[in-house]
Structure 1
Amino acid sequence: MKMLIPLLFPVLLAASATGAAAQAAIDTPTSGWRSAPPRQRDFVQEVHYPAASVNVNGRSASALIRGHIGASAKAGADGARQPARLVVDGVAMPLSTDEDGGFARPWSFGSGSHGVEVRAPGGGPGKRTQFYEAQAGRVPTRLRVVLSWDSDNTDLDLHVVSPDGEHVFYGARVAGNGGALDVDVTTGFGPEIFATPSPVRGAYHVFVNYYGAGERRDVITTAQVAIVEDEGTPREKQQVFRVPMRKPGELTLVRSFLVP
């Protein structure tokens, strides 16, 4: 047994170093109580094409999820980058990071309690923060639709048609009824988020369009659509749907639902 200790010690050190390097950190939001500005452009961010990353310029810290994951940019066996994992108030989705492991994701938080968790790629160590938004004047999101997908270098688009005929997508991101699409992600994983503080009553239709996959035409990707109604209230309802998207050009009706 004494002979095994010198052999195992370097291995344990390497494993420990790897785990430490992959540790997730969340810079914002921080745990505890906070009071963000009551009025803020949280739902919509500028998009500069090609939209290789989410633009967060000019975003207040209260409307961002920002942090860092060490060694998170390593590619998998097929050469594709491996996303981290983001969980916001129970909704899980892939999270893109830059070459240094940094991430910054716009998010609209209403008043009340919120939980944010970031998990390193490959099931590495994660980080969770819980905070309470004490600013009662913050506009709550009464309907949120979150599209994410599981393949790199692919472009899926979220389309939401509301009961009054408004069609929100990358070409018309803001509707007259208050609904809006936050960003258009064109290079994989998403998320793209439709949100509204005052949903029109009636039937909504959620579509996903497989817009493209670069030069490849054989990339099958799985789209995930999470629908959250009455967010942050005792009536909150979450539904998650997953559908395979087989080829560019495919348009799929993922879900139709009623807002009473």
Structure 2
Amino acid sequence: MKTLLIPILLLALPATAQVTIDTPSSGWRNSAGRGEQYTQTVNYPASSVSMQEGQAGSAQILGRIAGAPKGKPGKLVVNGVPMPIALDEKGGFARPYAFGRGSNSVEVRSPDGKGRARRQFVDAYAGKTQARLRVVMSWDSPGTDLDLHVIAPDGQHSWYGERVMANGGALDVDVTTGYGPEIFSSTAPGRGNYHVYVNYFGSGADTGVLTIAQVTIIANENTPAEKQQTFRIPMRAAGELTLVKSFVYP
């Protein structure tokens, strides 16, 4: 009787990307006295989202996705709002973020969605400035420049050329290299009509790249009265200006 030896081929499965979040850390904290910078300095032309030197860990999202494919963004989810996050050549990511007091959550996922890490924390600093109105814009293509514009009831206009309003509302950074996010926040929004626009500024030599913008409007974040609305808007050509939403606050 002959014994047949059947070779078994072991196929190497691709390794799952490992996601590490260095900051923020989980648990309870009090951010009183920490060096949190809200409006970030941006050099033109911008190459990435800038991080202020000396920025406190309580106001940034920092980490790495080891083994992530080059040229693909990760996914960042902050307090339930998803957005792409650009990765450097080593898979690193860095993003300033003005977290509010109370409970906050941060999740980062690898480009294929298989690797992920999550942080849940509570900031107990009662005197922390709270964003009562936040508008978050991101988009799905690299090498493109979309711009967020917010017009307040008194006619003030926050955009990349004049990011800070006299009443304290401000756009944090101008991202010119794709994905975003660009975030407008106001701690004391005036009552009345707001208008949110997206402008397709350009995409390098090719100005006809279709990109989908996602805009989320958040009122009274981290409170029982919180409300969120998310809109997805196709942007087809440079120069296109689209009114995303007109709304009344409060």
TM (norm. structure 1) is 0.91
1:25 aligned onto 2:20? yes
Contact 1:182 1:192 in 2 (8 A): yes
Q: CA deviation at 1:88?
A: 0.1
% identical equivalent positions = 56
Any idea what SS the aligned residue of 1:174 has?
coil
Give the distance between the partners of 2:29 and 2:113, measured in 1 at CA. Answer: 30
**1:90 alignment counterpart:** 80
1:49 aligned onto 2:44? yes
Q: CA deviation at 1:165?
A: 0.4
Between 154-163 and 123-132, report the one with greater CA deviation. 123-132
1:65 aligned onto 2:61? yes
Q: CA deviation at 1:3?
A: 4.2
**What are the superposed Cα offsets for residues 113-137 of structure 1, whole Å, 9 maximum, x if unpaired?**
0010000002221111101111111
Amino acid at match of 2:63: G
Amino acid at match of 2:123: E
**What are the superposed Cα offsets for residues 180-208 of structure 1, whole Å, 9 maximum, x if unpaired?**
00000000000000001111110000000
Give the distance between the partners of 2:190 and 2:205, measured in 1 at CA. Answer: 40
**1:74-223 correspondence to structure 2 within 5 Å:** 74=70, 81-223=71-213
Contact 1:147 1:193 in 2 (8 A): yes
Give the distance between the partners of 1:252 and 1:226, measured in 2 at CA. Answer: 15
Contact 1:73 1:100 in 2 (8 A): no
- Structure showing the higher helix proportion among its residues: 1
Structural RMSD (CA): 1.6
Amino acid at match of 1:207: Y
**What are the superposed Cα offsets for residues 149-168 of structure 1, whole Å, 9 maximum, x if unpaired?**
00010000000000010000
Contact 1:207 1:254 in 2 (8 A): yes
Any idea what SS the aligned residue of 1:62 has?
helix
Give the distance between the partners of 2:69 and 2:227, measured in 1 at CA. Answer: 34
Structure 1: gaps of 5 or more residues: 75-80
**2:9 alignment counterpart:** 7
1:228 aligned onto 2:224? no
Give the distance between the partners of 2:6 and 2:56, measured in 1 at CA. Answer: 57
Give the distance between the partners of 1:110 and 1:55, measured in 2 at CA. Answer: 20
Q: CA deviation at 1:38?
A: 4.8
**What are the superposed Cα offsets for residues 85-143 of structure 1, whole Å, 9 maximum, x if unpaired?**
00000000000010000001000011100010000002221111101111111111110
Give the distance between the partners of 1:93 and 1:48, measured in 2 at CA. Answer: 23
Give the distance between the partners of 1:40 and 1:162, measured in 2 at CA. Answer: 28
Between 34-43 and 172-181, report the one with greater CA deviation. 34-43
Any idea what SS the aligned residue of 1:234 has?
coil
Contact 1:42 1:63 in 2 (8 A): yes
Moved over 6 A (4+): none
1:257 aligned onto 2:239? no
